[in-house]
Structure 1
């Protein structure tokens, strides 16, 4: 199901900046006010995962890409680009429906995503939860 929403060119530009230059750590995306386009909501170079989580609103939907760094059991450093689809239980039902049906408009344009994370509450996007997921699927 598609909502007819499209990703603004700035979304792909910001993603390329994160992916290629490594000057960004995460990007948050949202629907514009008239729900016709996905736009960049916030970009940050901060590697503080807890800070990233504070930008996921308790009553609003967002998508995000986070460059997640982690260490394997052998001590080697890895990173995976994680795509987050944040749709908290407290968000209005209509917003959650449009968010869900618009996800592919953004997700399909982002080449190189390693892991997808669906979040409806803080436990699903907690650092340990995502770390476990990237270690299992992100080798």
Structure 2
């Protein structure tokens, strides 16, 4: 039997779907975004190269950097296990799910951890 796609309710937390998510460099906070963040996000969005991307703020360089890339075969449990318990992170997760009409869908989720 194939991989079971979770339902949005399986996450046990509110889910916010981004219809057209794209990172903006030098947002209002003044924090820079490393070019690799934008490149990896576009690869996830267009080619589904990754299941998730975890971003970390580098205090010394004052910019957001890619910390971890999740392979497409990894699941939500692997993603959740990759998040540190006591530190902040930003993440993008490519969430596959089944609708109430039994249609397989995929949405990109932005997570502030």
Shared fold (TM-score greater than 0.5)?
Answer: yes
User: Structure 2 residue aligned with 1:10, among 22, 36, 39?
Assistant: 36
Looking at secondary structure, tell me which structure has more helix per residue.
Answer: 1
Higher relative contact order (CA 8 A, sep 6+): 2
User: Structure 1 residue aligned with 2:84, among 57, 75, 81?
Assistant: 57
* 8 A Cα contact 1:30 1:40, kept in partner: yes
TM-score (norm 1): 0.58
TM-score (norm 2): 0.71
Unaligned stretches of 5+ in structure 1? 87-139
Unaligned stretches of 5+ in structure 2? 1-26
**Shift of the alpha carbon at 1:3?**
3.5
User: Structure 2 residue aligned with 1:70, among 97, 105, 111?
Assistant: 97
Structure 1 consecutive aligned stretches of length 4 or more whose deviation exceeds 6 Å: none
Aligned length: 86
Q: Secondary structure of the residue that 2:39 maps to in structure 1?
A: helix
